[in-house]
Structure 1
Amino acid sequence: MITILRLAMHILLLRQHFAPPSAAGSGRPYEMATRWIKAGHRVTLITSTAKFPAETELNQKVNHFDIDGIQVVAVDVKYHNSYGFLRRIWSFMSFAKQCVNAAKQVKDVDVVLGSSTPLTVALPAVKIAKRFGCPMVFEVRDLWPEMPIAVGALRSPLLKYVARKLEQYAYRNSDRIIALSPGMASGIVALGYPERRITVVPNSSDVERFRHESVSAAHFLQRFPMLEGRPFVLYAGTLGKLNGVEYLAEIAHEMKSINPKVAFVVLGDGARSEIVRRVARRCEVLDDNFFMLGSLPKQDIPDAFAAATICCSLFVNIPEMNKNSANKFFDALAAAKPIMINYQGWQARLIEGNDIGIHVPAKDPIESARRISRLLDEPARLVQLSQGAGKMGVERFSVDELSARALDVLEMSIKVQREKTA
């Protein structure tokens, strides 16, 4: 449990892609901020309106909300996963500019926490921290520009140069860094940042949310009756270029000849939604044993996990993705469901060293389908993996413990700065 620390802080969190509890998207900022508030701290969050539900009343360029104690300042900046490169850059720079302006209305900040992506959030974070004379802690959720270069999104030598300079600027001006995986931490150290000032705080498992008494597999199956009585593999997340969700459609195609009763369910949307749909049609699995259900409100996601037999996290086969800290992985642990992944890295090592799930090949849908089928044919093994996943979610990735770890980083940054100026 979180204990109240000796230092009561006003934390200013900058996160462009914040998703309120009612919207689809990463819950990490909300989960952590609400726990920091319970521990006796104040949290102001500057974000964009991009992830707010359509029914949210947004009447101004700057909108103010109190979301479970978090003082949210949402500036009117649009963004979607389907945006092209130039439109994304425009969105990122617009948020950086409006973020600085919005922060002028915030008072008495003790520490600024800039959370990427995008990396451009470092620009307002550094400027705002200097104005308040407080430390800036930078949260690295992806190694950027390593990722866009790896997938070919950044090809121009000039753009690569500018992006790397921005990365160096972000790290150089950070009092401390929170990295979401050991691989990300190693990548930051390789650029010359002191290892002693980096803390790994991975994404977490919100066990209370996913195992709450209100969670009901029956609710989900009543809404989607075509899944009633069928074992199914669930993918719940973004359908972007890096996710490679079309691979799941290829696995579904192979599964039809092995066990046609097994279904594959995709929740979410993104830039490649139509591509995934086209691949599923070509594989003759769409609405047969492969279902694309779109995005669900965040409060309905635990029901989907409860109904699933196996939950999966997918990425395209590039080495840079092995350092990721995918929410889907930790949500599966929170829901006590076996996790299936198709990539290497630290999460694969967790699976190999513990009874929590299975690893499938990145480019072999036939073998992947066989491995899934073999697991589904062993009910006792499924139970064993579910128990292992649930135990790991509680013991190693508890949102309470990881929120406290991040809070320690923020407090330490303030203490170190005060000692230097004393």
Structure 2
Amino acid sequence: MTRVLLVSQYYWPESFTITAEVARLARNGFEITVLTGQPNYPAGKIFSGYSAFSIRRDRVEGIEVIRLPLFPRGQGSGLRLMLNYLSFILSGLLIAPFLLRGRRFDLVFVFGLSPLLQALPAVLLSRIKGAPLVVWVQDLWPESLAATGFIRNPSLLGIVRLLVRFIYRNCTRILVQSEAFRAPVAALSPPGATIACVPNSGQTADAATPPSESARALGDRIAQGFSIVFAGNLGHAQGLDTLLNALDTLRDLPDLQVYLVGSGALDGWLEQERQRRNLTMLHLPGRFAPADMPVILSNAAALLVSLRKEAIFGLTVPSKMQTYLSTGRPIIASLDGEGARILSEAGAGLSAPAGDPTALASALRHMASLPPTERSAMGLSGRRYFDTHFAPDRITALLSDHLTAATHPAARHQGD
């Protein structure tokens, strides 16, 4: 049995795909220990029952989970977010080696969401344990820092680039969530580095957990009229100002209702704009648990995915794309690049260029004008594409192969 140490700042009860992926890997014969932080995403507050500056050991579906102290990220504060990132990195560097003393692992594996620098403790642990390191890159650094405006100083971005180069050069194997990530990752990797694409499978709900009554009620509301649902983080990267500008021009569609199901840094701004613009068709029901999402998504006339117009986001496939495809509902995308390509290839909906409210409004009008049979055909085409390309068991098998291969001595390359 392959013993894996997973390093991920985010894990259950935070809603990320890695939790379900770890459960499937465990069923495939991997013995996994998770090193993570105290849950605080997306609201920015430590979840009830947890403590920010404590060390905690849990069992989640039989998986050992070790939680390190961290500073909660808060909402809308760049300083707090930086402290959140740095506190997990420092806990990983200073505390994790002590907590894991005497433990042996065959592999150290990083789920590389932002901050990608969370892999720095993994580099140290990989060397201490004499185990190969694999990073599954979910977000491009330093590009995403510049695109979101989190860091604009060229000198700081240069330092981050050097740290990312250091991480990649200590990897046995690098996995990327999008084919479009391959070139920018290779540019910071040593010559001959093994880089492979392993896409995400999307967020899945536990079929054994029934939805809440509030989710059922919301699903019933969504089923009325022509309802569009956006699910997930409500942050700067999602380009939601484009949606609001599009809705300003769609007041003549009486059945149009738009539900932004989630939470994030723009919660307050969205509510203010909803009232200021008198967007009565826009609803902000808040965040729901993963078990609630199927009844919400399945009742929508169509699902919306959007990102800001930035070059880096054209390389990204939002994980909600796979989740949406799995529902069998048609999709409206305000995206460039790889995400738009997948939607077109799947024949699962309509797309508009990122950051173009006129084009997004046109796509919404077009979707509203289609007969239900045509919308259903789009959704079914998307589901078939999901089954072919993103089915969870298929992705887990692919990931398992790469993790196993990385443990073989011949698979290792030496970093500079």
Distance in 2 of aligned mates of 1:205 and 1:346: 16
**Larger deviation: 128-137 or 118-127?**
118-127
CA deviation profile, 1:144-175 (whole Å, cap 9, x unmatched)? 01111233322223212211111111111111
What is the number of residues matched between the two proteins? 405
* Residues 1:120 and 2:117 are matched in the alignment: yes
Out of 199, 202, 209, which is 1:202 matched to? 199
1:255 alignment partner, one of 234, 246, 250: 250
Q: For 2:71, what is the secondary structure of its paired residue?
A: coil
Paired residue secondary structure (1:296): coil
Does residue 374 of the first structure (1) align with residue 366 of the second (2)? yes
1:221-260 to structure 2, matched below 5 A, reads 222-223=217-218, 226-257=221-252, 259-260=253-254
Conservation of the 8 A alpha-carbon contact between 2:4 and 2:105: yes
**What is the Cα-based RMSD across aligned positions, in Å?**
2.6
Look up the equivalent residue of 1:200 and give its one-letter code. Answer: C
Deviations 1:339-387 (A, max 9, x none): 2211111221122233111102334434422322222322221011010
> What TM-score do the two structures reach when normalised by structure 1?
0.88
Contact 1:181 1:202 survives alignment (8 Å)? yes
Residue identity in the other structure for 1:55: S
Structure 2: where are the runs of 5+ without partners? none
Residue number in structure 1 paired with 2:349: 357
Contact 2:203 2:319 in 1 (8 A): no
Displacement, 1:219?
6.9
Question: Secondary structure at 2:134's aligned position in 1?
Answer: strand
Question: CA–CA distance in 2 between the matches of 1:215 and 1:382?
Answer: 27
Deviations along 1:180-226, one digit per CA (max 9) or x if unpaired, are 1111112112334456611111111466x48x597779974524665
Please say if residues 135 and 417 of structure 1, whose CA atoms lie closer than 8 Å, have aligned partners that are also in contact: no
Shift of the alpha carbon at 1:399? 1.3
Deviates most, 157-166 or 96-105: 96-105
Unaligned runs of 5+ in 1: 1-7
Give the AA of the match of 2:85.
Answer: F
CA contact (8 A) 2:38 2:52 kept: no
Distance 1:183 1:194, change over 3 A: farther
**Is this contact kept in 2: 1:206–1:398, CA < 8 A?**
no
1:131 matches 2:128: yes
- In 2, Cα distance between equivalents of 1:195 and 1:359: 37
Select 2:291's aligned residue among 299, 306, 318: 299
Q: Which residue identity lines up with residue 303 of structure 1 in the other structure?
A: V
Sequence identity (%): 22
Greater shift in the superposed pair: 162-171 or 410-419: 410-419
**Distance in 1 (alpha carbons) for counterparts of 2:48 and 2:138:** 29
- Between the aligned partners of 1:155 and 1:206, the Cα distance in structure 2 is 32
Q: Which amino acid aligns with 2:264?
A: G
* 1:389–1:192 CA distance, 2 compared to 1 (3 A): same
What pairs up with 1:100-111 in 2 under 5 angstroms?
Answer: 100=93, 101-106=95-100, 107-111=103-107
2:32 to 37, 43, 48: 43
Verify the 8 A CA contact 1:50 1:78 in the aligned structure 2. no
Q: Which residue of 2 aligns with 1:282?
A: 276
Change (3 A) 1:419 1:240: closer
Please state how far the C-alpha of 1:419 moved relative to its aligned partner. 8.4
Is 1:165 matched up with 2:159?
no
Indicate how the Cα distance of structure 1 residues 32 and 159 shifts in structure 2: closer, same or farther if over 3 A, else same.
Answer: same
> How far apart, CA to CA, are the structure 2 residues paired with 1:418 and 1:260?
59
Instruction: Find the residue that maps to 1:235 and give its secondary structure.
Output: strand
The whole-number CA distance in structure 2 between the counterparts of 1:77 and 1:60 is: 6
What secondary structure, in the 3-state scheme, does the structure 1 residue paired with 2:64 have? strand
The verdict on how the C-alpha distance between 1:50 and 1:57 changes in structure 2, with shifts beyond 3 A counting, is: closer
